[in-house]
Amino acid sequence: MSRVAVVTGANRGIGLAIATRLAAEGMRVVLASRSASAGEEAASRYPEHAGRISVGTLDVADRGSIVDFTRWLHRTHGRCDVLVNNAAVAIDGAQDAGTADLGLVRATLEVNLFGAWQMTQALVPAMRARGYGRIVNMSSGVGRLSAMTGGIPGYRVSKTALNALTLVFADELRADGILVNACCPGHVRTGMGGAGAERSAEAAADTPVWLAGLPPDGPTGGFFRDRRPLAW
């Protein structure tokens, strides 16, 4: 039976590139999208993966949506082997910490940190049941404490916290055969990264796809860019 992978925020950008790569590698992929129609439209552009991609409706900032999604996943797929916490927002780009609208900061944390946290809580029991799991948290170099600067405070803090959460879960889940890692995709041409970014979404998908298929003796509690360790 092929592995089942859930990719959040997969209707566009890097998430879509990760979902299609995982499908090309033979996994059964759930393309999770907060808009069902956007998810179906994205999936329809890859008829070659039609048998391996299914679309699930999921808003990671909505507890009820996570509960409904998890029930649907268990009913339709019966297992979950891989979770890619990719969904994120970057909505405080023009802010500095001194005057930041904390409503925007909270909204950022709700998706980028608590969304990933709640999804991990929801899907780890299915991984534990089989003694196997791979969790990939899409982070960012701007969240590194070793290279921290001002600007975009909510987004930065959300990714620093996601990095910390990666280490916490990696330690807690090590004995269950579940490997938990974070990665930075680089600066990528997406809605978030902008048209001038140097890297394609397909190229950015390489490291998370690698982490999603790690062998049992692969790393856990790591932070990677281009498959190489990155300073926290």
Residues that bind ligand NAP (CB under 6 A): 8-9, 11-15, 34-35, 38, 58-61, 86-89, 111, 115, 138, 140, 184-185, 187-188, 190-193, 197
Q: What distance in Å separates the CA atoms of residue 139 and residue 150, rounded to the nearest whole number?
A: 18
Let me know: does 19 contact 96? Beta carbons within 8 Å.
no
Asked whether the CA dihedral 225, 171, 88, 141 is positive or negative, the reply is: negative
User: Which of residues 111 and 132 has its CB atom nearest to ligand NAP in the complex?
Assistant: 111
Beta strands in 121-221 (DSSP E): 133-138, 178-183
User: Which of residues 29 and 132 has its CB atom nearest to ligand NAP in the complex?
Assistant: 29
> Letter for the amino acid at 54?
S
Does residue 46 have an active-site annotation?
Answer: no
The CB density around residue 49, as the number of other CB atoms within 10 Å, is 17
Q: What distance in Å separates the CA atoms of residue 111 and residue 117, rounded to the nearest whole number?
A: 9
Residue 190 Cβ, how far from ligand NAP at the closest point, in Å? 3
User: Which of residues 208 and 213 has its CB atom nearest to ligand NAP in the complex?
Assistant: 208
Residue 217 Cβ, how far from ligand NAP at the closest point, in Å? 27
Residue 151 Cβ, how far from ligand NAP at the closest point, in Å? 14
Among the options 155, 169, 223, 224, which is catalytic?
A: 155
User: Which of residues 176 and 226 has its CB atom nearest to ligand NAP in the complex?
Assistant: 226
Residues 6 or more apart whose CB falls under 8 angstroms from that of 194 comprise none
Residue 111 Cβ, how far from ligand NAP at the closest point, in Å? 4
Residue 41 corresponds to which tokens in the numbers above? 């439209």
Q: Which positions are catalytic?
A: 155
